[in-house]
Amino acid sequence: MDTHNNVAKREPLMNFLAWLMIVGSVISFSFIPVGAPFLLILAPAVLIITIIANVTILIAGIGVLKRRKWGLYLFLGSGILSILGFVYSVIGGIPLEPNDIVILITEALLVLYFWSRRNLFSINYNLPKYVIPLIIIVIILVLGIPTLLTKKS
């Protein structure tokens, strides 16, 4: 019978997608400080939502990489919320651009792919010990760097 690690090694696409989530959220965090001073003034809710979304995807990526159910559910939840956001925008009269349609289709395919592979995830609802400190450090950096950048010498 296959062990959990052997199954994980045979799913290179899932490993790639998990690493893509982790690296993508870290890269997104690097762009937040650049726009943060403007967003704090013009649209603080957008900045907060961006931070929450990036932290969510980062944690989900770690969970998916470790094949934990909480990582799967976190990703599925964020994916479904993203799809519902697109639907809400269309209902609200905001037209979708061609790249929005590609993002929507990709998000739907990812949700379907992960749902179809849900049996590969183990039940372990405990977050790894390093996740909470990682979240705190990222939030401090994201909120602290714009202050340093806007400080007058």
pLDDT digits (tens, 9 = 90+) for 90-140: 787 878 788 888 888 888 999 899 988 888 887 655 656 666 666 666 655
Residue-wise pLDDT tens digits, 36-56: 666 666 666 667 777 788 888
Q: 115: which 2 tokens?
A: 């749902």
Number of H helices, E strands in the chain: 6, 0
Q: How far is CA 139 from CA 4, 19, 123, 144, in A?
A: 33, 21, 28, 8
Does the predicted TM-score (pTM) go above 0.95?
no
Q: Do residues 114 and 64 make contact, with C-beta atoms less than 8 angstroms apart?
A: yes
